[in-house]
Amino acid sequence: MISDLIRLIPRVRGPTLEKRKILGSVTYQFYYTVHSEALKIENWRNKIKSTQKNLARRICGIYRTLSKEAPAVFTGLFPNELLPKRRIEIYEKKKAKKEIREATKENW
Protein backbone atom coordinates (compact mmCIF):
# COMPACT_ATOMS: atom_id res chain seq x y z
CA MET A 1 0.00 0.00 0.00
CA ILE A 2 2.78 2.45 0.87
CA SER A 3 4.64 1.61 -2.31
CA ASP A 4 1.49 2.53 -4.27
CA LEU A 5 1.33 5.86 -2.45
CA ILE A 6 5.01 6.47 -3.12
CA ARG A 7 4.30 6.10 -6.84
CA LEU A 8 1.41 8.58 -6.62
CA ILE A 9 3.50 11.36 -5.08
CA PRO A 10 6.05 12.69 -7.56
CA ARG A 11 9.14 14.41 -6.21
CA VAL A 12 8.58 17.42 -8.43
CA ARG A 13 5.33 19.32 -9.12
CA GLY A 14 3.13 17.10 -7.04
CA PRO A 15 0.78 17.94 -4.18
CA THR A 16 1.84 20.56 -1.65
CA LEU A 17 3.80 19.53 1.44
CA GLU A 18 0.70 19.70 3.64
CA LYS A 19 -1.22 17.36 1.33
CA ARG A 20 1.74 15.01 1.15
CA LYS A 21 1.91 14.92 4.95
CA ILE A 22 -1.78 14.09 5.21
CA LEU A 23 -1.56 11.31 2.61
CA GLY A 24 1.58 9.93 4.20
CA SER A 25 0.38 10.05 7.79
CA VAL A 26 -2.93 8.35 7.01
CA THR A 27 -1.22 5.59 5.07
CA TYR A 28 1.56 5.27 7.64
CA GLN A 29 -0.82 4.98 10.60
CA PHE A 30 -3.06 2.46 8.85
CA TYR A 31 -0.12 0.38 7.68
CA TYR A 32 1.55 0.20 11.08
CA THR A 33 -1.67 -0.48 12.92
CA VAL A 34 -2.33 -3.45 10.66
CA HIS A 35 1.27 -4.70 10.68
CA SER A 36 2.16 -4.02 14.31
CA GLU A 37 2.60 -7.75 14.96
CA ALA A 38 5.17 -7.94 12.16
CA LEU A 39 7.40 -5.54 14.10
CA LYS A 40 8.29 -8.41 16.41
CA ILE A 41 10.21 -10.14 13.59
CA GLU A 42 13.53 -8.48 12.79
CA ASN A 43 13.44 -9.22 9.06
CA TRP A 44 10.03 -7.57 8.70
CA ARG A 45 11.11 -4.70 10.93
CA ASN A 46 13.96 -3.92 8.53
CA LYS A 47 11.62 -4.05 5.51
CA ILE A 48 9.18 -1.73 7.25
CA LYS A 49 11.98 0.71 8.14
CA SER A 50 13.03 0.81 4.51
CA THR A 51 9.48 1.54 3.43
CA GLN A 52 9.17 4.26 6.06
CA LYS A 53 12.35 5.95 4.83
CA ASN A 54 11.10 5.90 1.24
CA LEU A 55 7.74 7.34 2.27
CA ALA A 56 9.37 10.11 4.31
CA ARG A 57 11.67 11.01 1.42
CA ARG A 58 8.77 11.14 -0.98
CA ILE A 59 6.68 13.31 1.35
CA CYS A 60 9.57 15.77 1.67
CA GLY A 61 10.19 15.62 -2.07
CA ILE A 62 13.89 14.91 -1.62
CA TYR A 63 16.34 12.43 -2.99
CA ARG A 64 18.76 10.25 -1.01
CA THR A 65 21.10 13.11 -0.15
CA LEU A 66 20.02 13.55 3.47
CA SER A 67 20.60 11.30 6.44
CA LYS A 68 18.17 8.54 7.32
CA GLU A 69 16.57 10.43 10.20
CA ALA A 70 16.19 13.89 8.63
CA PRO A 71 13.18 13.14 6.38
CA ALA A 72 11.33 11.52 9.30
CA VAL A 73 11.94 14.61 11.42
CA PHE A 74 10.77 16.94 8.64
CA THR A 75 7.58 14.98 8.06
CA GLY A 76 6.85 14.18 11.70
CA LEU A 77 6.70 10.42 11.13
CA PHE A 78 7.55 8.59 14.32
CA PRO A 79 9.92 5.59 14.36
CA ASN A 80 8.40 2.15 13.84
CA GLU A 81 8.69 1.13 17.47
CA LEU A 82 6.80 4.14 18.86
CA LEU A 83 3.74 4.32 16.62
CA PRO A 84 1.96 1.09 17.67
CA LYS A 85 2.56 1.97 21.33
CA ARG A 86 1.10 5.42 20.71
CA ARG A 87 -2.00 4.00 19.02
CA ILE A 88 -2.54 1.56 21.89
CA GLU A 89 -2.22 4.36 24.45
CA ILE A 90 -4.77 6.46 22.60
CA TYR A 91 -7.19 3.54 22.47
CA GLU A 92 -6.72 2.29 26.04
CA LYS A 93 -6.29 5.48 28.00
CA LYS A 94 -8.54 7.68 25.90
CA LYS A 95 -6.15 10.59 26.38
CA ALA A 96 -6.18 13.54 24.10
CA LYS A 97 -4.16 12.79 20.99
CA LYS A 98 -2.16 15.97 21.44
CA GLU A 99 -0.91 14.89 24.89
CA ILE A 100 0.14 11.47 23.62
CA ARG A 101 1.85 13.02 20.59
CA GLU A 102 3.90 15.26 22.89
CA ALA A 103 4.82 12.29 25.10
CA THR A 104 5.89 10.32 22.02
CA LYS A 105 8.04 13.23 20.85
CA GLU A 106 9.75 13.30 24.25
CA ASN A 107 10.45 9.54 24.04
CA TRP A 108 11.84 9.99 20.53
pLDDT digits (tens, 9 = 90+) for 63-78: 667 676 777 777 777 6
- DSSP state for residue 65 in the 8-state scheme: T
The residue ranking higher by pLDDT, 105 or 3, is 105
Does position 81 have pLDDT exceeding 70, yes or no?
no
- DSSP state for residue 69 in the 8-state scheme: S
What pLDDT shows up at residue 33? Answer: 67
Residue among 35, 70, 79 at smallest CA distance from 62: 70
Does position 105 have pLDDT exceeding 70, yes or no?
yes
pTM of structure = 0.54
Give the model's confidence band at 48: pLDDT under 50 very low, under 70 low, under 90 confident, else very high.
Answer: confident
Averaged pLDDT, 6-11 = 64
- DSSP state for residue 79 in the 8-state scheme: P
Does position 84 have pLDDT exceeding 70, yes or no?
no
d(CA 58, CA 35): 21
